[in-house]
């Protein structure tokens, strides 16, 4: 939960490089409640300013009820420290001052879990039985349509939904966070290339590193985020 786009990119990059799956990001308490209700997280990282700008104390209470017993790490700059005194009820597991690096972040993340089992679950990379499948089903009105993983070209995050773009030109909207969808698609060769985009590696025709653009097999252009570029290149069978 972070309102600053640059900090959001940095935080996601650090957690992704550590092998963690990110739900979100969100920029309001209301969005956090919706995401946490749909997919309960193992850990919450939130900015102090977001908490301070929540509309009404009742909203904060609803949020705390929704994330009951979930460890919360609060990030804050020096000039925001005073905000924490107003919201003692959150009882954060840790305080993370900005700026921070990946080493400090991961150390605090590991220390914030109440039991080692949660830490092992988060870092194990275990995806659950659903990832052993090679297909998903999407809802289209009254139909449940089978979509093989190899038929998905890329995925675009669109507000509270994800838009699946298929190789046959069809598109389907699914109500699931992008990070959770990546969890399911990653074994099929999908990689996050931008804050709002997932791409199947075999669909890539070429990367224009100077322009920050990925060209896919159907002439579709997808942005390549600077924080994701190195990870994407590492996933390629590159002969330099």
Question: pLDDT value at position 213?
Answer: 94
| pLDDT band, very low/low/confident/very high, at 163 (cuts 50, 70, 90) | very high
Question: pLDDT value at position 78?
Answer: 58
Residue 143: is its pLDDT beyond 50? yes
Task: Return d(Cα 191, Cα 197) in angstroms, integer.
Answer: 9
* For residues 139-167, average pLDDT: 88
Q: Dump pLDDT digits (tens) for 91-128.
A: 667 777 777 777 777 777 777 765 443 334 444 344 34
Range with the largest mean pLDDT of 20-29, 31-40, 45-54, 215-224: 215-224
> What is the phi/psi pair of residue 142, to 5°?
-100, 10
Residue 208: is its pLDDT beyond 50? yes
Question: pLDDT value at position 117?
Answer: 38
| pLDDT band, very low/low/confident/very high, at 19 (cuts 50, 70, 90) | low
Question: pLDDT value at position 123?
Answer: 40
Task: Return d(Cα 78, Cα 10) in angstroms, integer.
Answer: 18
């Amino acid at each position: 939960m972070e309102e600053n786009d640059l900090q959001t990119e940095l935080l996601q990059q650090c957690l992704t490089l550590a092998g963690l799956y990110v739900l979100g990001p969100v920029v309001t308490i209301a969005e956090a409640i919706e995401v946490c209700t749909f997919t309960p997280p193992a850990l919450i990282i939130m900015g102090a300013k977001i908490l301070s700008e929540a509309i009404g104390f009742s909203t904060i209470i609803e949020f705390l009820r929704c994330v009951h017993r979930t460890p919360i790490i609060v990030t804050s700059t020096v000039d925001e420290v005073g905000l924490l005194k107003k919201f003692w009820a959150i009882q954060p597991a840790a305080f993370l001052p900005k700026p921070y690096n990946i080493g400090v972040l991961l150390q605090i993340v590991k220390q914030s879990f109440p039991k080692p089992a949660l830490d092992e679950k988060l870092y194990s990379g275990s995806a659950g039985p659903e990832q052993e499948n090679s297909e998903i089903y999407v809802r289209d009105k009254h139909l449940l349509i089978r979509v093989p993983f190899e038929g998905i070209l890329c995925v675009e995050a669109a507000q509270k939904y994800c838009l699946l773009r298929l190789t046959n030109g069809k598109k389907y909207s699914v109500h699931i966070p992008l990070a959770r969808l990546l969890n399911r698609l990653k074994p099929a060769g999908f990689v996050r290339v931008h804050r709002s985009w997932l791409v199947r590696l075999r669909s890539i025709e070429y990367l224009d590193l100077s322009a920050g653009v990925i060209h896919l097999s159907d002439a579709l252009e997808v942005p390549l985020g600077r924080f994701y570029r190195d990870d994407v290149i590492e996933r390629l069978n590159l002969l330099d």
